[in-house]
Homo-oligomer: A and B are copies of this chain.
Amino acid sequence: MNIVDELNKFRSIIDTELEKVIPNGDFMQKKIFEAMRYSIFAGGKRLRPILSLKSCEMISGSYQEAMKIALGIEMIHTYSLIHDDLPAMDNDDFRRGKPTNHRVFGEDIAILAGDGLLNLAYETMLEGFSLNKTNYDSHIQAIREVSRSAGVFGMIGGQTVDIQINDDSAEKEKLEFIHKNKTSSLIEASIVSGAIVAGASHEQLEHLKAYGQAIGMCFQIRDDILDKIGDEKILGKKIGSDETNHKLTYLSLYGMENSINEIHILNMKAIEALSIFNEEESIFFKELANYLAYRKC
């Protein structure tokens, strides 16, 4: 299996499905559709929905059952980027090489486009019930997993702590909280939700949770490293913004050598968590962990 080919294949499947569920057409409120589509189709990696589809496939043999959940997860991720980029938050002008949503549509529409995507995420995930008539319990459990991870005890909680002015106290605890909640939480929920829909056992879920936590943390530290030494052309954005904004990062707190070591350790943990699955089942997730740990963008 070539990991890049597999990621591209699933990315294209997800793009096709997103195209169907994000509204379009000449309605009076079409401006909001334009803004939502602009950010949804701005070249995202689709990492989170891919995790959801692939974990569903690993457990049940088919990824289709997790599709609505996966699409909802990508909308939640995208709304969070639109709101994070706003002038009142990180005030970013570019993302993935393109002007941010509010730079194109204005702050008011950008706020509403974020709201619209968050709400549409739930509309879409709730639509999944019509596909899973026999499987209500696991579908509800999966949506609730996503919902919790996106909320004030997950992503929104992490962002709240991240934007608070650094008070120089308990920085390590604060950084751990931010990484765990702002980034890892939704990544973990992505992989777990797909497995829940597929009917995974408690043991399987625990192992996938550990995998999700490890690659989530790994993903974040790699992000911080790329912001310091990445290639701007490949990244599609300026590097050094963490330093400019005095962001609390693993790198700023522990230095480059420790950060690179931590990535190795987390990558090993992720692969170890997959030990209960056989080689054939888990090959995608193993290769994905390696790919994310050493990615260039």
How many of these chains are in the complex? Answer: 2
User: Nearest residue in B to A31 (C-beta to C-beta)?
Assistant: B160
> Could you give 12 example pairs across A and B, Cβ below 8 Å?
A23-B153, A29-B181, A32-B152, A33-B152, A83-B112, A86-B108, A86-B111, A88-B108, A112-B156, A120-B152, A123-B148, A123-B151
A199 on interface, CB distance cutoff 8 Å? no
User: Nearest residue in B to A27 (C-beta to C-beta)?
Assistant: B157
A234 on interface, CB distance cutoff 8 Å? no
Measured in the bound complex, the distance between the Cα atoms of B153 and A140 in whole Å is 24
> Of B36, B144, B160, which one neighbours A112 at CB under 8 angstroms?
B160
Cross-chain contact B174 with A28 (CB below 8 angstroms): yes
A83-102 near B? 1/0 per residue, CB < 8 Å: 10010110000000000000
A159 on interface, CB distance cutoff 8 Å? yes
- Residues on A close to B: CB < 8 A? 23, 27-29, 31-33, 36, 79, 83, 86, 88-89, 106-109, 111-112, 114-116, 118-120, 122-123, 126-127, 129, 136, 140, 143-144, 147-148, 150-153, 156-161, 163-164, 173-174, 177, 181
- A30 CB → nearest B CB, Å: 9
B contact residues around A23 at 8 Å (CB): 152-153
B contact residues around A122 at 8 Å (CB): 122, 147
Given A127-B144, A136-B136; 5 other pairs, CB 8 A cutoff? A28-B173, A32-B157, A88-B107, A88-B108, A109-B163
Cross-chain contact B123 with A144 (CB below 8 angstroms): yes
Cross-chain contact B157 with A29 (CB below 8 angstroms): yes
User: Nearest residue in B to A80 (C-beta to C-beta)?
Assistant: B115
User: Nearest residue in B to A157 (C-beta to C-beta)?
Assistant: B29
B contact residues around A159 at 8 Å (CB): 112
- A132 CB → nearest B CB, Å: 11
Cross-chain contact B136 with A119 (CB below 8 angstroms): no
Cross-chain contact A119 with B147 (CB below 8 angstroms): yes
User: Nearest residue in B to A150 (C-beta to C-beta)?
Assistant: B119
- A288 CB → nearest B CB, Å: 27
- A64 CB → nearest B CB, Å: 20
B contact residues around A164 at 8 Å (CB): 31
Measured in the bound complex, the distance between the Cα atoms of B23 and A284 in whole Å is 38
B contact residues around A177 at 8 Å (CB): 28-29
